Chain A
């Protein structure tokens, strides 16, 4: 757990306190880069996100919104920002290092067919605890997806990506429904609920996040989000018609030896497109695996077309799927790090490549070079 109040005070808004170690990747449609860095006064490793404000236009507001909102939330399962400051044309955000990266990273780098069910149970439980808090504080997240779930070295999952969040409390009232459509959300469409996508007069409420939890559960289990290879308009009509994606295992994927037609359509609906179909071995493994009945139920509950039928985040936490997280037989109990083996978290030992650092610094130097343009004549 983060000891927020103590940690927050420790990290100051001073660029000189942080030394970049290496590049961890890009995010927010390439407006931001993520770096591993060392907080010099304490020696701890942190993650540093740099938003290039000069690249962003309307996103600048989203970034500001995300930082201000994140600073006003405190929950062990919501990624905190320790500090945020401006350095050159960049807004720099200091966050705890989430050593396993995002769940999307885990899926892309190793678990291409999906994570083990037990790991998903731990991760989703954490995410729901964070989400329940976000809802109680009066916000709808609107962008729950594997890439917005980060996993720490001890296996705790945190929700991030709050720039798309909106308030339920408006005009001094707790609104029954919200009508605004999130901006710059093209990348999140697959995870959004039918009622958000429809943009009709009924609006939507925090239950739309529960739908996204269902989509994320499928994404974590299948390795790919439902409708990933479906054209957007078709995805929309399918969702509005009430087509509910499923977890892919022996019960939902027709046998390999079925007639081609059935197989094709099943694959199409669930979004597992060519990548899996092209690899028969992989497909076979997916067809032979068995997800538990509670897991199937959980996904089904979340992905119901009618938002009023979906359980709330706090109700979901009582679902039998999460029973497996409560078994504690000390050393034999599965923990997220064990379940994620052989993926290794980023840790101190792996922070020695100075090459990385040198290239970052060189690039920054280059960027600072300014060719003096022709001067005005006053």
Chain B
């Protein structure tokens, strides 16, 4: 790397050039091809400042700080995301890499980019809407999951109306997009325990009525993934209130008992991990107890033959033995 590289552009110059190019791309006039080229070129310049290249280290903190400041002042992050579908294939990924690096910037304990995005929540909403568009969905996904790491940003996303669109995104026919959306969805619902528990408590009815649809989805992968996540959510001690509410509803028990008998072994297995919570509950409401009692013998017999080939999975076998014992010992509530 030469000491005096020829005309090394300053952060302000690169950001300005990129902004002009994106604007030109947005206008879509005759010079679109040239604009595309300029967008790609300047994105690579910014990316190299942040990440370095095989023969150059990343730029110094001062340069990166200047660059970040220019990005905030010019509102370029939002502009890039709004025009992501117009940027070429490799350029889209460069936008995501630049965004993710800038997002992680720290000054002491402060995260200036996170603070900046809190004042510009359109950035988050535009990214979430990205799942509507095949050609940018995965790029938006990588940026969203990076944002979800920050509680302040996760909160904005969880409490926005757009959050409920995820129940649709995780079921789209394109597998890569659906499963990417599911990763983001899961991240939002599990990353920040207290925030998530609070959100689920406040929005219990809305969330679980939507969630029910995922559990009944036609799409095998959606059904399996959402069932697994349900198990994780219920077994997380932060979600105790939510869990108690969920296992008091007989409809939920019926659904799980039916899923225990699904054709797919993986679904049976995941259903077992939700079903066990109903049985293990020391204060079973009467409707729950009644269902279990009505099926007492069938359940004992069913569980005895359930996944007997998992002999290596000690925890599973202990849990299964415990459930069988519990169900055998069930007695009707004594009337007072």
Contact = CB atoms under 8 A, between A and B. Distances in A.
Interface of A: 4-5, 13-14, 53-54, 57, 64, 67-68, 71-72, 74, 81, 83-86, 88-91, 137-138, 169, 171-174, 312, 370, 373-374, 376-378
Contacts of B173: 13-14, 85-86
Contacts, number: 83
A14 to B, nearest CB: 7
Given A74-B89, A91-B221, A84 B175 contact: yes
Contacts of B178: 86
Given A54-B266, A169-B51, A89 B220 contact: yes
A84 B58 CA distance: 37
B179 A83 contact: no
11 contacts: A53-B220, A86-B219, A89-B220, A137-B93, A169-B51, A172-B103, A173-B51, A312-B54, A376-B261, A376-B298, A378-B254
A377 B266 contact: no
B35 interface: no
Contact of A54 (B51, B254, B257, B265): B265
Contacts of A90: 220
Contacts of A174: 51-52, 58
Contacts of B175: 13, 67, 84-86, 91
B331 to A, nearest CB: 18
A86 B221 contact: yes
A85 to B, nearest CB: 5
Given A84-B175, A172-B100, A54 B298 contact: no
Contacts of B101: 172-173
A172 B175 CA distance: 27
Contacts of B174: 13, 83-85
Contacts of B176: 67-68, 71, 81, 84
Give the residue among B58, B93, B173 with the most A Cβ atoms within 10 A.
Answer: B173
Given A85-B175, A172-B100, A378 B294 contact: yes
B97 interface: yes
B263 A377 contact: no
A263 B261 CA distance: 60
B19 interface: no
Nearest to B257: A376
Given A67-B176, A68-B179, A376 B219 contact: no
> Which DSSP category, helix, strand, loop or mixed, fits chain B's interface?
helix
A85 B93 CA distance: 23
A86 B90 CA distance: 27
Nearest to A88: B220
A67 B93 CA distance: 16
Nearest to B179: A64
Given A13-B173, A53-B224, A169-B97, A68 B103 contact: no
A376 B295 contact: yes
A85 B220 CA distance: 11
Contacts of A57: 266
Contact of B266 (A53, A67, A91): A53
A67 B179 CA distance: 10
B180 interface: yes
Interface string B146-178: 000000000000000000000000000111101
Contacts of A378: 254, 291, 294
B126 interface: no
Counting chain A CB atoms within 10 Å of each CB, which of B97, B103, B263, B265 scores highest?
Answer: B263
Interface in B178-203: 178-180
A91 B176 CA distance: 10
A91 B178 CA distance: 12
